[in-house]
Amino acid sequence: MSPRSIPYQHSAAAALCAALALALAPLAAGAQSYRCVDQDGRKIYGEVIPAACLGRVVEQLSRQGVVVRRIEPPPTPKQLADTAAEEQKRRDDAEAAKIQARRDNALLATYPTIESIEEARSRALRQANVAVNDIESGIEELRRREAELNEQLAAYTGGRKPPAKSVGDLHQVELEIAAQTALLAAKQKDIEAINARYDEDTKRYADLNARRR
């Protein structure tokens, strides 16, 4: 063998080793196992995911025992429901924020000053109080009519039967008094709602102005 052939043989052997290493690399990478920890803290191993690992975090190990991937267990029905509830809450909160932003913009565009809110409150209350006064006046008139009819009917004594029309008129007046009384209560609640709304607008307006400073 000539001295010149030795480096060539060494080079050929090195190339062959490199080729074998490349060919075997996928096989080595594929030689993996799985591991999880059971409820008692014991580590369970298997060439495939062991049945005892179902519902638990599984670690995929390389041939050298290095964790190459974590496999999370599928979510439980409760976790799915919780996730859906959280997502719905986020959507609801985002929608509420949009609605509030529109209301804030409308509030600032409607009232140039906080005093103008009080002026609007006064106008709304005047209108509501006019309606209340009208209803109260109507109820007073109905009460007078009711008293007149009761007086007329009281005259029929000694077994005399009162006129059917008078009895019907009294019944109709009583129904109207009940209806107007209910309407009066509703209008009074409207006044409470007006004050509550303008109280809220005043507070919100002040808060928005404070943020812009």
Whether residue 126 is found in the same domain as residue 208: yes
Whether residue 152 is found in the same domain as residue 61: no
Is residue 191 domain-resident?
Answer: yes
pLDDT for 4 equals 43
Whether residue 81 is found in the same domain as residue 42: no
In our burial notation (b when 16+ CB lie closer than 10 A, e otherwise), range 16-55 reads eeeeeeeeeeeeeeeebbbbbeeeeeeebeeeebbeebee
The answer to whether 102 and 154 have CB atoms below 8 angstroms apart is no
pLDDT for 146 equals 97
Whether residue 45 is found in the same domain as residue 65: yes
The answer to whether 30 and 68 have CB atoms below 8 angstroms apart is no
Whether residue 139 is found in the same domain as residue 207: yes
CA distance linking residue 14 with residue 85, whole number of Å: 62
Burial of 173 (0-12, 13-18, 19+ CB in 10 A): buried
**Cα dihedral 7/12/18/19 (nearest 10):** 170
Whether residue 195 is found in the same domain as residue 162: yes
Q: How many CB atoms lie within 10 A of CB 114?
A: 13
Whether residue 98 is found in the same domain as residue 135: no
Whether residue 96 is found in the same domain as residue 162: no
pLDDT for 9 equals 38
Q: Which residue segment(s) compose the domain that 81 sits in? A: 75-110
The residue to which tokens 């019944």 are assigned: 171
Burial of 181 (0-12, 13-18, 19+ CB in 10 A): middle
Number of domains in the chain: 3
pLDDT for 19 equals 35
Structure tokens at 22: 């490349």
The residues of the chain scoring below 50 in pLDDT are 1-30
Whether residue 57 is found in the same domain as residue 132: no
Question: Count of residues for the chain?
Answer: 213
pLDDT for 31 equals 57
Whether residue 118 is found in the same domain as residue 200: yes
pTM exceeds cut of 0.75? no
What does DSSP assign to residue 51?
A: G
